[in-house]
Chain A
Amino acid sequence: MTVQRTTLVSLLALLAAGPALADCAIDGSGSVRILSNDFEALRIVDAGAQECASDAVTVTANATTEHKNIQVPALTANPAEYTVAMIANNSIVPLLGDDLIRPLDDLVAQYGQQLQPNQLIKIDGKIMAIAFMANGQHLVMRKDLLDQAGVAAPTSWEEVLTAAQALKDQGILETPLSQPDGGTWDLAAEFVNLYLGTGAEFFEPGTANLAIDNDQGRLALQTMRDMTQFMTPDYATNDTDATAQLYRDGKVAIETNWGSLAATLIDPAQAQPEVAENTVFAAAPTIGGGTIPAAALWWDGFAIAKNISDEDAAASFQAMMHAIRPEVATAKAEAAVWLIQGYQPGPAAVGVVANANGGARPYPMVPWMGTLHEVLGTELADFIKGNEDADKAIADITAAYTAAAQQAGYLQ
Chain B
Amino acid sequence: MPHSTFLRFMGPSLIAMLLFIALPIVSIVVQSLYVEHPQVLITSETCQPFGGCTTTTTVDASATAQLREDEPLGQFNGLGTYFDRNHLAFREIREILRTADGVGDVVSRIYNLPLYKALAFTVTYCLLVTPLAMILGLMIALAVNTVPQMLKGPVIFFSLVPMLITPLVGALILFWMLNSEGILGAAIQNIFNDPNLSTRTSAPLTWATLIAYGTWTNAPFSFIVFYAGLQAVPRDTLEAAMIDGASRLERIRYVVLPSLKPLILFVLLVQLMDNFRVFEPIISFNAAANATSLSFLIYSSLNTQTTQLFGSAAATSVITIGFIAVLIVPILLRIARELSTGRG
Knowing A69-B303, A400-B114, say if A234 contacts B57 (CB, 8 Å).
no
> Which chain A residue has the least Cβ–Cβ distance from B87?
A403
Knowing A99-B62, A183-B288, A234-B201, say if A409 contacts B39 (CB, 8 Å).
yes
Question: Is B306 a contact of A367 with CB atoms below 8 Å?
Answer: yes
- By secondary structure, the B interface counts as loop
Q: How many A-B residue pairs have CB under 8 A?
A: 197
> Which chain B residue has the least Cβ–Cβ distance from A406?
B35
Docked CA distance A97–B39 (Å): 9
Q: Looking at B38, B43, B286, B290, which has the most chain A CB atoms within 10 Å of its CB?
A: B286
> Which chain B residue has the least Cβ–Cβ distance from A396?
B112
Docked CA distance A91–B305 (Å): 6
Question: Is B56 a contact of A381 with CB atoms below 8 Å?
Answer: no
A residues with a Cβ closer than 8 A to B are 68-69, 72, 89-91, 93-94, 96-99, 118-125, 131, 134, 181-184, 187, 203, 205-208, 232-234, 236-239, 242, 297, 299, 339, 356, 360-362, 364-371, 373-374, 377-379, 381-382, 384-385, 388, 396, 399-400, 402-404, 406-410, 412
**Chain B residues closer than 8 Å to A360, beta-carbon distance:** 50
Docked CA distance A125–B56 (Å): 13
B residues with a Cβ closer than 8 A to A are 35-39, 41, 43-51, 53, 55-59, 61-62, 64-65, 74-75, 81, 84-86, 92, 112, 114, 179-180, 196, 198, 200-201, 285-290, 292, 300, 302-309, 311-312
Question: Is A367 a contact of B45 with CB atoms below 8 Å?
Answer: no
Docked CA distance A396–B109 (Å): 11
Docked CA distance A373–B65 (Å): 25
**Chain B residues closer than 8 Å to A233, beta-carbon distance:** 180, 196, 198, 201
**Chain B residues closer than 8 Å to A69, beta-carbon distance:** 302-303, 308
Question: Is A205 a contact of B57 with CB atoms below 8 Å?
Answer: yes
Knowing A378-B292, A409-B37, say if A371 contacts B51 (CB, 8 Å).
no
> Which chain B residue has the least Cβ–Cβ distance from A204?
B57
Q: Looking at B36, B86, B290, which has the most chain A CB atoms within 10 Å of its CB?
A: B86
Which of A90, A187, A339 is B49 in contact with, Cβ under 8 Å? A339
Which of B85, B286, B303 is A183 in contact with, Cβ under 8 Å? B286
**Chain B residues closer than 8 Å to A385, beta-carbon distance:** 289-290
> Within the complex, what minimum Cβ distance (angstroms) separates B173 from chain A?
14
Docked CA distance A203–B43 (Å): 13
Knowing A134-B49, A403-B84, A404-B86, say if A378 contacts B307 (CB, 8 Å).
no
- By secondary structure, the A interface counts as mixed
> Which chain A residue has the least Cβ–Cβ distance from B118?
A378
**Chain B residues closer than 8 Å to A131, beta-carbon distance:** 48-49
28 A-B residue pairs with CB within 8 Å: A89-B48, A93-B305, A93-B306, A97-B39, A119-B49, A123-B47, A123-B58, A183-B286, A203-B57, A206-B41, A206-B43, A234-B179, A236-B290, A237-B289, A238-B286, A361-B51, A366-B57, A366-B58, A367-B306, A371-B309, A378-B114, A385-B290, A399-B85, A404-B309, A408-B35, A408-B307, A409-B64, A410-B41
**Chain A residues closer than 8 Å to B287, beta-carbon distance:** 237
Question: Is A373 a contact of B309 with CB atoms below 8 Å?
Answer: no
> Within the complex, what minimum Cβ distance (angstroms) separates B202 from chain A?
8
